[in-house]
Amino acid sequence: MTLISAGFNMLVRWGGVVLMTYFGYRSVTVLAGETTTADIGIKILSDLKVSEAAAWIFGAGGMTYGARQRSFRLKANQVLGSRVSELETDIDRRRSSSKLTTRGLTNPSDAL
């Protein structure tokens, strides 16, 4: 059951990427023999407007910021989470655990 659902999720995720790549490939092959990859590259760069470049920088910057923030939060989990776990175990010796890693991520043995 879990494998089917994981397989479906994988199919949707990678299916989208494959579809986009296919369309990209088809777009480029339309010009096969008429132009070179260098021409396309030059055209893209020469067409790039300041507003578009700013939008790209904004998007990429936002994603980098999000990724960095997540990384810091996982590190904080490691530092603070283990302390909370120790203190709780002092109070309740038979404290049960979620079996997540110290960073709060899925345990590799539970990952699909």
Contact letters for other proteins, residues 17-36 (x by CB under 8 A)? x--xx-xx--xx-xx--xx-
Site for other proteins in 55-74 (CB under 8 A): 59, 63, 66-67, 70, 73
Tell me the one-letter amino acid at 18: V
Structure tokens at 89: 């175990």
Answer for the pair 103, 75: CB distance below 8 angstroms, yes or no.
yes
HEC profile for 57-109?
A: HHHHHHHHHHHHHHHHHHHHHHHHHHHHHHHHHHHCCCCCCCCCCCCCCCCCC
Q: Binding to other proteins by residue 50, rule CB under 8 A?
A: no
Q: Choose, by CB under 8 A, the member of 37, 38, 51, 110 that binds other proteins.
A: 110
CB 102 within 8 A of CB 77: yes
- Site residues for other proteins per CB under 8 A: 1-2, 4-6, 8-9, 12-13, 16-17, 20-21, 23-24, 27-28, 30-31, 34-35, 39-40, 43-44, 47, 52, 59, 63, 66-67, 70, 73, 84, 88, 91-92, 94-100, 104, 106-107, 110-112
